[in-house]
């Protein structure tokens, strides 16, 4: 996705009828802010291990294996459907290395987001009444270090804020247009409907936007109200509903496997509040939020925007309602992130809520119309707020939130970019081979090359060396294939051929691990940990000493083999591994909710008892 509309051209159209100086100030503010964000994002460019995980699925798509992480096992490893297919499209179109495709697309979307966020704020404040508009909230967002870290990273962060910015801009235009037109409303509805494909939790934002559009009485539309509203729902739901049906039939789940692995419906309030403070505390982020909040109230009282319905569309079709929607969405998303315990990456999942909260003040009027009696006092307040915001931005932009040498806090929250810079020895780890300098990666590659018969690679309990569990004899011609069982899916998956199966104890790419119970106080995002004994049994490798590593117990493995005969567990695995026939597709749809709720116990004795395995009561 590229920015096809020049920000300068759009900005001039937004400012028709405003003085030349105001135009220059406004356009310059957009260009300079966007340039600063682009430069900041490029200076901190990198691709995360999780970003490489996305690219493994794209590689399989391009190879004709389908949207899977491992060929022959239908698992939706990527949380953002739209991001996966966006990278696939540009990878197919350009033929470039996927790491560079992800880097370029992510940075482009991030910069595009900040541009449309400012354009929406300009329309909000009614540019004809404000003499000067300056990028206050935009400066706050780009000053926060995680915002620049995740402007690249290979993850969907740039796509998420770009979707929020475009939705905001379209909603503000809709709220200020007397006759939006059928095509305009349908276009807005389609964009809002994309929410669950961008990221599942954004469904709340898209649903609230659609509710607002549907409930606001249509103006300038020839169709009758209720048929028109029905069409809005159809247009909005076309893409997400079609994909949802396909997802349930293909993957056997109603949402990405990552939501199962991380128990996205679970509650970890204490960890969530810790994650919030991990972002707010080091940067004193509450300072600009309070300052800009007060400045926005002063600006509303002085210059103002439409707070009362100025047309037949009612209050729901006013800028004030749009502001309430986006700020309210920011609050709801923040509450959700706190409830689920946040994330292990510093600030990442709180960036979209922060972006929502800042949207109304992405640009603020320095001074209102000269007709206002209190304009001098207002100018002083607004000037002070903008100076304070700029001063805070200089402080925050150079602040390091996590001081520990490992770049991981005591709560398990990591400055991921600096962590991987430190552990790879590269200033910008982008390509898959850059991660071969990560501990244990080159040894893994050597061990695979040295075992032509295939086998299961598992790491020692001390994480110092690899062990290969061999396949049973007779070994087929060409070997039995390799499986790697380790937590770093991205760097392994992208450095391995697609015929090497890569699974993880956390469960992002491994359904058996995903459907275990998580440990209550473990590190967020890593709070499931399936023992490698299960992978030995599941992969069908030799399960006796001396071929099996010394730290694995034969009795434990035997009981795991019994536990895995549980009919419900076999059915769950068949949902992703059995041939995708029409009957299998239909059964997956019918049982997708049941599969999503299903859990196994990692202790085989408990699992045998839970399942009441036949013959082992």
**Each residue's pLDDT tens digit, 47-78:** 999 999 999 999 999 999 999 999 999 999 99
269 vs 275: CA distance, rounded Å: 10
Both tokens of 276, joined, read: 């919030």
The full length of the chain comes to 617
Least confident among 193-202, 310-319, 345-354, 455-464? 310-319
Pairing of strands 501-503, 364-367: unpaired
Q: What percent of the chain has pLDDT over 90?
A: 77
Least confident among 212-216, 292-296, 349-353? 212-216
Q: Where are the alpha helices (DSSP H) in 269-350?
A: 269-283, 286-302, 319-340
> Residue 76, class by beta-carbon neighbours within 10 Å (0-12 exposed, 13-18 middle, 19+ buried)?
buried
| Closest C-alpha among 362, 372, 367 to residue 124 | 362
* 192 pLDDT higher than 80: yes
**Other Cβ atoms closer than 10 A to 483:** 23
Structure confidence at residue 1 (pLDDT): 38
Report how many helices (DSSP H) and strands (DSSP E) the chain contains, helices first. 27, 6
| Closest C-alpha among 118, 105, 113 to residue 45 | 105
**Residue-range domain boundaries for the chain:** 7-44+76-398, 441-612
Q: Which residue has the tokens 């969530």?
A: 272
The mean pLDDT of 303-327, rounded to a whole number, is 73
DSSP state of 316: G
Structure confidence at residue 461 (pLDDT): 84
| Closest C-alpha among 244, 172, 164 to residue 205 | 164
The mean pLDDT of 26-43, rounded to a whole number, is 96
Q: What percent of the chain has pLDDT over 70?
A: 92
The mean pLDDT of 489-499, rounded to a whole number, is 96
Write phi, then psi, for 506 (nearest 5 degrees): -75, -30
163 vs 349: CA distance, rounded Å: 15
By 3-state DSSP, what share of the chain in percent is helix, strand and coil, each rounded to 5?
60, 5, 35
Residue 458 three-state SS: strand
The mean pLDDT of 260-284, rounded to a whole number, is 93
557 vs 563: CA distance, rounded Å: 10
* 449 pLDDT higher than 70: yes
Structure confidence at residue 12 (pLDDT): 47
The mean pLDDT of 299-319, rounded to a whole number, is 66
> Residue 451, class by beta-carbon neighbours within 10 Å (0-12 exposed, 13-18 middle, 19+ buried)?
middle
Q: Which residue has the tokens 């494909």?
A: 197
- Segment 528-578, tens digit of pLDDT: 999 999 999 999 999 999 999 999 999 999 999 999 999 999 999 999 999
Pairing of strands 364-367, 132-134: antiparallel
3 vs 436: CA distance, rounded Å: 34
User: Residues 453, 454, 455, 457: what is their CA dihedral angle, to the nearest 10 degrees?
Assistant: 130
Identify the sign of the CA torsion 361, 362, 367, 368: negative
> Residue 562, class by beta-carbon neighbours within 10 Å (0-12 exposed, 13-18 middle, 19+ buried)?
middle
- Specify whether the CB–CB gap between 141 and 354 falls below 8 A: yes
513 vs 534: CA distance, rounded Å: 9
- Segment 428-448, tens digit of pLDDT: 999 999 999 999 999 999 999
* 156 pLDDT higher than 70: yes
User: Residues 40, 44, 50, 52: what is their CA dihedral angle, to the nearest 10 degrees?
Assistant: 110
594 vs 599: CA distance, rounded Å: 10
pTM score: 0.94
476 vs 480: CA distance, rounded Å: 6
- Is the pLDDT higher at 535 or at 617? 535
The average confidence (pLDDT) of the chain is 90
Q: Which residue has the tokens 């709340």?
A: 204
Structure confidence at residue 219 (pLDDT): 66
381 vs 303: CA distance, rounded Å: 13
Residues 6+ apart with CB under 8 A from 574: 584
CA diameter of the chain: 92
- Specify whether the CB–CB gap between 327 and 356 falls below 8 A: yes
The mean pLDDT of 142-170, rounded to a whole number, is 97
* 460 pLDDT higher than 60: yes
**Which H or E element spans position 449?**
helix 441-449
| Closest C-alpha among 285, 260, 429, 418 to residue 346 | 418
**Other Cβ atoms closer than 10 A to 338:** 21
* 222 pLDDT higher than 90: no
Identify the sign of the CA torsion 292, 327, 277, 507: negative
Write phi, then psi, for 108 (nearest 5 degrees): -60, -45
327 vs 356: CA distance, rounded Å: 6
Structure confidence at residue 405 (pLDDT): 84
Q: Where are the alpha helices (DSSP H) in 474-553?
A: 489-495, 511-514, 532-539
- Specify whether the CB–CB gap between 28 and 130 falls below 8 A: no
* 313 pLDDT higher than 70: no
Residues 6+ apart with CB under 8 A from 615: none
**466-469 sheet: strands from edge to edge:** 466-469, 455-459, 482-485, 501-503
Query: Which CA distances in Å does 294 have to 182, 289, 290, 331, 361?
Result: 38, 9, 6, 18, 11
Bridge partner list, 459: 466
Q: Which residue has the tokens 């509309």?
A: 5
- Is the pLDDT higher at 131 or at 193? 193
């Amino acid at each position: 996705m590229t920015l096809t509309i020049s920000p300068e051209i759009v900005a001039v159209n937004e400012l028709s009828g405003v003085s030349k100086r105001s135009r220059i100030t406004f356009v310059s503010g957009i260009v300079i802010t966007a340039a600063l964000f682009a430069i900041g994002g490029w200076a901190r460019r990198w691709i995360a291990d999780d970003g490489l995980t996305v690219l493994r699925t794209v590689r399989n798509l391009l190879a004709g294996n389908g949207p899977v992480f491992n060929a022959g096992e239908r698992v939706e490893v990527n949380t953002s459907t739209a991001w996966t297919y966006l990278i696939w499209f540009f990878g197919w179109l350009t033929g470039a290395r996927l790491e560079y495709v992800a880097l370029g697309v992510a940075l482009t979307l991030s910069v595009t987001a900040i541009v449309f966020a400012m354009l929406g704020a300009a329309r909000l404040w009614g540019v004809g009444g404000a003499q000067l508009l300056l990028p206050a909230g935009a400066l706050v967002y780009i000053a926060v270090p995680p915002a620049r870290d995740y402007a690249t990273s290979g993850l969907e962060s740039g796509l998420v804020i770009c979707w929020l910015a475009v939705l905001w801009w379209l909603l503000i235009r809709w709220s200020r247009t007397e006759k939006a037109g059928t095509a305009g409303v349908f276009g807005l509805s389609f964009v809002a409907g994309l929410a669950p494909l961008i990221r599942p939790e954004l469904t709340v934002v898209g649903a609230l936007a659609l509710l607002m559009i549907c409930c606001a009485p249509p103006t300038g539309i020839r169709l009758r109200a209720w048929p028109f509203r029905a069409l809005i729902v159809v247009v909005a739901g076309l893409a997400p509903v079609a994909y949802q049906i396909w997802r349930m039939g293909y993957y056997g789940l109603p949402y990405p496997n990552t939501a199962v692995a991380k128990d996205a419906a679970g509650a970890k309030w204490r960890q969530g509040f810790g994650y919030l403070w991990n972002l707010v505390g080091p940067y004193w982020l509450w300072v600009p939020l309070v300052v800009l909040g007060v400045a926005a109230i002063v600006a509303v009282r002085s210059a103002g925007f439409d707070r009362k319905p100025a047309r037949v569309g009612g209050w729901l079709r006013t800028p004030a309602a749009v502001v309430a929607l986006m700020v309210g969405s920011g609050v709801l998303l923040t509450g959700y992130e706190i409830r689920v315990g946040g994330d292990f990456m510093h600030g990442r999942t709180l960036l979209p809520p922060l972006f929502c909260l800042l949207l109304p003040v992405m640009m603020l009027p320095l001074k209102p119309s000269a007709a206002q009696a209190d304009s001098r006092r207002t100018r002083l307040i607004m000037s002070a707020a903008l100076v304070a915001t700029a001063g805070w931005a200089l402080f925050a932009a150079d602040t390091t939130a996590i001081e520990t040498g490992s770049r991981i806090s005591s709560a398990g929250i990591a400055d991921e970019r600096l962590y991987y810079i430190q552990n790879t020895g590269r200033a910008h780890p982008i390509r898959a081979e850059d991660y071969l300098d990560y501990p244990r990666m080159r040894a893994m590659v050597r061990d695979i090359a040295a075992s032509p018969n295939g086998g299961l690679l598992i790491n020692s309990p001390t994480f110092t060396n690899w062990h290969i569990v061999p396949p049973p004899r007779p070994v087929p011609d060409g070997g039995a294939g390799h499986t790697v069982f380790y937590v770093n899916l991205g760097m392994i998956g992208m450095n391995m051929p697609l015929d090497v199966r890569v699974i993880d104890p956390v469960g992002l790419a491994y359904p058996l691990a995903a459907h275990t119970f998580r440990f209550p106080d473990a590190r967020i995002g890593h709070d499931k940990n399936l023992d490698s004994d299960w992978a030995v049994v599941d992969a069908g490798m030799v399960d006796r000493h001396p071929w099996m590593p010394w730290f694995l117990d034969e009795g434990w493995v035997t009981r795991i083999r019994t536990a895995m005969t549980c009919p419900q567990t076999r059915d769950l695995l068949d949902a992703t591994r059995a041939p995708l026939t029409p009957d299998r597709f239909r059964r997956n749809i019918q049982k997708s909710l049941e599969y999503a709720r299903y859990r196994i116990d990692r202790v085989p004795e408990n699992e045998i008892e839970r399942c009441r395995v036949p013959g082992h009561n």
